[in-house]
Structure 1
Amino acid sequence: MTSSTTRKPSVLKKGVPVDSDVLTLARERLSHVFDLHDHVAVSLSGGKDSTVILNLTLEEARRRGRLPLRVVFFDEECIYSENIEYIRRVAANPDLALEWYCLPVKHRNACSSNSPYWSPWAPEDQDRWVRRLPPEAITELPGYDAADPEHRKSIPEISGLLFPPALGNCAFILGIRADESITRRRAVSFRTTDNYIVKHNSGYGGTGKVMGWGNLWKAYPIYDWRTPDVWLAPKLLGWDYCHVYDLMDKIGISPSQQRLAPPFGEEPMQGLHQWHLIEPELWFKMCARVPGAATARRYARTELYAFGDLPQRPAGLTYEEFLTGLIEQKHEGKIRAQVAKSVRGFIRQHFNKTQEPIGIHKEHPQTGISWDFLLKIAIRGDFKNRKQPRLGHHDDATYAKRHAAYLAEVQQYQADLAAERAQQETP
């Protein structure tokens, strides 16, 4: 049995106290990025984080005389009108060279287990597009063949194609922040030097092999910013921003929950109700555009999508048997095989670290894995390879307390399962 004195440490590093404020640090990081790279571009979604990096990078580009600054915007079709207006205001700035891509890329659709992906601007769906193609649209990217829907790529996978070798060493600046998800924190936790600069084909996440020439690095200069920092900067420095956030305020969405993201992923779809409230006409078209969207608006926070209460294990079945049946019931074909493979991978991950059984509701304190965690994977899938168990920093006393609670739950489960099976065998 693994004890608190022999357990392996978490892969996540604790934060290191610094004397500088986050704005100063971000500016220093951007200066370093410009020093290291021949070509720098900004990824802009219109959201609050990308707004911050746009303005900070523009400051540095002006200081160095490296204008116009290249800005890349992937239009994901189902976006707010205010978002479009903000992007057009950005494009009007002569110090910026904005590229407006409207490509049929692969997006996650967590609203439907039968249709787990969808593609904005897919030519085969043109009669159901929620908007007309904007006049600024760039509809082709050299090296990306989107004709076959089965082999379309995600935006991270094709980003490397934007940076041909003639540009030299390139940096793509992204508004990734560590406090938004454990996966994003991991992306900047493995190195102590230049941890905010990573090779384009490295790190967590992604749905497959990236496309490109190997000359691209991603940079996260505001990775240590918190939500209040992100909103304070535009106020203090007078930056423009996407005013859909004002509408989110009016309908009662807190700043920490406000997101501009592809709306149909696992986490974003919990906020689908806001689209109905903010832009009803657009929402009506979105329901016809993406399978399961209307259902997800009503039930995204329920057991149906593995939020809130999870389905109960049937009496007499082990959790492994329960998950196997659930995957068979929820998914079909290649999707079923993919979800089953993901669940098996997490089970192997657990037993590679400890021989103790997987917990039920309480995660094993060494692996962060529980049957509840695996249930969510079985129902929602893990199509972006982003789901990771939560691992914290435990001193010996905390670890021992959590481990004791985990053991008590496992022992109760084993006793319950034995009693259920004995009752089933009774004539």
Structure 2
Amino acid sequence: MNVWEATQRRLERIFRDFDNIVLAFSGGKDSGVMVNATLDFMRAHGITRKITVLHLDYEGQYAATTDYVTEVMTSNRDLIDPVWICLPFAAACEVSMYQSYWKPWNPEERDIWVRDLPDAPGVIHTGNVPEDFPEYDGVWDYTVQEKIGAWLHRRSGAERTAVLVGIRTQESMHRHAALYRQDRTDASMLEGLNWTSRKGRGVYNVYPIFDWVTEDIWTANARFGWSYNTLYDLFHLAGVSIHDMRVASPFRGEGQEALKLYRVIEPETWAKLVGRVNGANFAAIYGGTAAMGAKDIKLPEGHTWKTYANFLLDMIEDEEIKQGYLRKLKSSMRYWTVKGGALPEESAEELRGDAPEGTEFLGEPKDNRKRRGPYEVIRFRHYPDDIPAVSDLSLIPTYKRLVITILRCDHACKYMGFGQTKREVTKRSQAVEKYREIL
């Protein structure tokens, strides 16, 4: 069975087992293929009940993306109900030392919006928010999407809602681990299907194309003549590899490399982006250089990586951002010096020849996590300053890795292997709500 045939079987199961379908659509290649595959499946099988197409609009984006989203959200109205979110949720900002997030469509910043509100069916903005709509102001984007999924479930009166999300495990180890972790319970999935994830009572995220690779996406577009975001054509002309093309918020870490392309592809949009978020121009100019932790970063004279990290932390005026880095550092130190962390076997072998005194090599991991290839558990006596022998700096817990993380404005510390925790999401949401009550 190839991935196309497997996806057809998953769609058959989805439409059989769920009485409400919501499709999360970003305007990128993966969600675009998912929209087209789903609509083709519906027409081929005579399915006439509508699905909801949900789009979170990040305001600052290429015109080609807006055009494609508009095309999808206004076409096939016999099969889709559009829900187009233009609200001031919190979006990650990794181009600034001064803010960890920004708010698209913030009404208090209307004079510097990158573009006007879209004029299309299904648009929800601060002027027409439904009475029972979930909290959104300053709430993280992924949390908002989950809350809206639950809201759409309640509004539909359905017994079971599927939220189709176009993620592929090829894109990252985090995505691969999320679906293949051996400690997942049956209660967290629908009837043991690893491409489903229970998000709440009656609500499941489902991943119909999780096993596709990038080449599958473009093969499907060509074979079936599907429409797609023409921004990818412009990326191709600019020499960007198909594996590096991203349609993401320009201020996210994933979008920094493409940020500089705005100046060439859409100069007018670029001029507005520079005025929208502090640090955008700096990130575009220096995003691929040592100034932002890329390539061959040099240690300033008279510093160790630890003292340089402390210097950078002292330069951060925002206490919340500074404490965020310190919490992640403390967690990393506790993990690697007490419990021990797992390294790929080839990195462990590199480490053996240059390991700090007291480093312990504890053999294969004893947990049930499914990993790609053999790993070995390593425990350090002291948190290392730097270990040049290991080629992948992001895998080794060092103060140099922390320096790179800070220079990249990587507030979530993804370079250090962290993801945003539920505690952080909840804490921010509670803080926003408390502040609103005070006002």
Q: What's the TM-score bracket when you normalise by the shorter of the two chains?
A: 0.7 to 0.9
Partner of 2:8: 27
Residue identity over aligned pairs, in percent, reads: 27
The CA distance in 1 between the partners of 2:303 and 2:235, in whole Å, is 47
Provide the secondary structure at the position in 2 that maps to 1:187: helix
Partners in 2 of 1:224 and 1:61 — Cα distance?
Answer: 21
- Shift of the alpha carbon at 1:324? 3.0
Instruction: Report the residue type matching 2:99 in the other structure.
Output: S
1:175 paired with 2:181, answer no
Structure-2 separation of matches of 1:327 and 1:216 = 41
In structure 2, the residue matched to 1:237 is 224
Please state if 1:38 is matched with 2:19. yes
The equivalences for 1:253-292 within 5 A come to 253-292=240-279
Provide the C-alpha distance between the structure 2 equivalents of 1:27 and 1:112, rounded to a whole number of angstroms: 43
Q: Which residue of 2 aligns with 1:368?
A: 395
Taking structure 1 as reference, are residues 186 and 362 closer, same or farther at Cα in structure 2, changes over 3 Å only? farther
Q: Deviations over 1:240-279 (max 9, x none)?
A: 1111111112222221111111111112112111111111
Q: TM-score, normalised by structure 2?
A: 0.74
1:161 paired residue number: 147
Cross-structure match for 2:407: 379
Question: How far has the Cα of 1:58 moved from its partner?
Answer: 2.1
CA contact under 8 A between 1:197 and 1:217: conserved in structure 2? yes
State the shift of 1:76 in Å. Answer: 0.9
Using the alignment, how far apart are the partners of 2:114 and 2:391 within structure 1? 45
Aligned equivalents of 1:385, 1:196: Cα separation in 2: 27
Question: Which residue in the other structure is 1:355 paired with?
Answer: 379
Question: How many residues align structurally?
Answer: 353
Q: 1:86 aligns with which of 41, 65, 68?
A: 68
Match among 66, 77, 83 for residue 99 of structure 1? 83
- Comparing 104-113 with 20-29, greater Cα deviation is found at 20-29
Change (3 A) 1:214 1:263: farther
Q: Which residue of 1 aligns with 2:92?
A: 108
Superposition pairs of residues 24-423 of structure 1, within 5 angstroms: 24-62=5-43, 63=45, 65-90=47-72, 91-94=74-77, 95-136=79-120, 137-139=123-125, 140=129, 142-146=132-136, 152-162=138-148, 163-164=150-151, 165=154, 166-191=157-182, 193-200=192-199, 214-312=201-299, 315=302, 317=304, 319-330=305-316, 332-351=318-337, 352-353=339-340, 354-357=378-381, 358=384, 360-362=387-389, 368-371=395-398, 372-380=400-408, 382-384=410-412, 386-387=414-415, 389=417
Q: Which amino acid aligns with 2:403?
A: L
- How many Å separate the matches in 2 of 1:356 and 1:61? 55
TM superposition shift of 1:311:
4.2
Change (3 A) 1:138 1:381: same
In structure 2, the CA distance between the partners of 1:252 and 1:161, relative to structure 1 (3 Å rule), is same
Q: Which whole-Å CA distance do the structure 1 matches of 2:236 and 2:52 have between them?
A: 31
- Alpha-carbon shift at residue 214 of structure 1 (Å): 4.0
Q: Offset at 1:298?
A: 0.3
SS in 1 for 2:124: coil
What are structure 2's unaligned runs of at least 5 residues? 185-191, 341-377, 419-439
* Alignment RMSD: 2.5
CA deviation digits over 1:299-355, x for unaligned, max 9?
0112222122234165464x4444333322245311100111112212222221243
Hey, what's the Cα distance between the residues in 2 that align with 1:66 and 1:154? 34
Q: Is the 8 A contact 1:363 1:370 kept in 2?
A: no
How far apart are 1:146 and its partner, in Å? 4.6
Q: Kindly state the Cα deviation for residue 387 of structure 1 after the two structures are TM-superposed.
A: 4.5
The answer to whether the 8 A contact 2:397-2:416 is kept is no
CA distance in 1, matches of 2:289, 2:41: 46
Alpha-carbon spacing, 1:378–1:144, altered in 2? closer, same or farther (3 Å): same
Compute the displacement of 1:167 (Å): 2.8
Code of the residue aligned with 2:84 in structure 1: it is: W
Q: Provide TM-score, normalisation by structure 1.
A: 0.76
Note if contact 2:113-2:276 (Cα within 8 Å) is conserved in structure 1. yes
Letter in 1 for 2:397: S
In structure 2, do the counterparts of structure 1 residues 144 and 383 end up closer, same or farther at CA, with 3 Å as the change threshold?
A: farther
> How far apart are the structure 1 equivalents of 2:269 and 2:409?
27
More relative contact order, 1 or 2 (CA 8 Å, 6+ apart): 1
What is the deviation of 1:115?
2.0
Alpha carbons of structure 1 residues 146 and 97: separation in structure 2 relative to 1, 3 Å = closer
Q: CA deviation at 1:52?
A: 1.0
State the distance in 2 between where 1:385 and 1:34 align.
39
SS of 2:104 mapped into structure 1: coil
Deviation digits for residues 177-220 of structure 1 (CA, Å, limit 9, x no counterpart): 112222222222214842221133xxxxxxxxxxxx64322112
